[in-house]
Amino acid sequence: MARRRKKKEIKNNSSSGGGWMTTFSDLMSLLLTFFILLYSMSSVSAEKFEAAAKSMQSAFGGGDSVIEGSTVVDTETKTTKTETEIEISEETIDPELIEMYNEVVAFLEANEMTAQASVEYDQDGIYVNIQESILFGSGSAIIADSGKSTLNNLGELIQQFKNDVVVEGYTDNVPMNNSSFGSNWELSTGRALSVLRYLSEERKIDPTRLSAKGYGEYHPIAPNDSEENKEKNRRVNIVLVYDRQGE
C-alpha cells in the first residue's frame, strides 16, 4: 500500500511542472503580440505624420521641405521672402520720381555736364553730386568760376521743378583749422551756404524752397584711405526733395 501511494505522488508532481510551462508560453505569446501591436501602431503613426507634413507643405505652396522632429522647415520660403522684400523695395519708388530722375539725367547729358555732376535717387528725392574741385578751392567756401558755370546750369534745371531743394556739404577726414573754418563742420556748412546763396541771389531760386546742411566728414561715400577716395568724399549734393502725393 505504501508503494502505491508513492507512485501517485510522483504523478501529481509531473502534472504540476507541465502547467507552469503552459503559463509561461502563454505569457510570452502575449508579450510578443503586444510588441507587434506597438510596432504596428508606430508605423501607422509615422505614415500619418508624413502624410500630414506633405499636406501642410502643399497648403503653403509646395517646395522642398526638411522635417526636423516635429518642425517642418520650407527651404523655399526664405528665398521667396527675400524676393518679395526686393519687389516691395522697388515698388516703394514712385514712378513720378523715376520720371524726374530721367529728366535730370537727360538735362545733364544735353548740357554736357556728366563729367561735372553725377545723379542718384532714392524714395526721398534726386541727388545731384558735384565734386568739391569744381566748386571750390582747397579749404575754401568761395565759389570758383568753374563752379559758377555749373551752378548756372543747375539753377536752370532746378527752375524746371517746384520741389524743395536741400544743399548738402561734405568733406574728407583731413582736419580743418584755418582762419576761416575751425573744423570740417564749419567748412561743409559754409560751402553748402555759399551754394544756397548763389542759387537764391544769382539764379533767383525762391529762397523759401532752399535749405542747407553741413555733414562734415561723417557721411563718406568711400573709405578715406586714398587721395582718390578723399576727393570723392569732398562734395556738395543738390537734393530735389520728393514729396509723395497725399502725404
pLDDT given for residue 48 in this prediction = 56
pLDDT given for residue 223 in this prediction = 97
Planar angle of CA 159, 108, 215, nearest 5 degrees: 75
CATH tag, 93-241? 3.30.1330.60
Tell me what the pLDDT averaged over the chain comes to: 80
Query: What are 83-131's pLDDT values in tens digits?
Result: 444 444 455 789 999 999 999 999 999 999 999 999 999 999 999 999 9
Query: What are 1-60's pLDDT values in tens digits?
Result: 444 444 444 444 544 556 667 777 777 777 777 777 666 665 545 555 565 556 555 544
**The pTM is what?**
0.64
Report the percentage of the chain scoring pLDDT > 70: 68
What residue ranges do the domains of the chain occupy?
1-59, 61-91, 93-241
Q: Which strand (E) or helix (H) includes residue 238?
A: strand 235-241
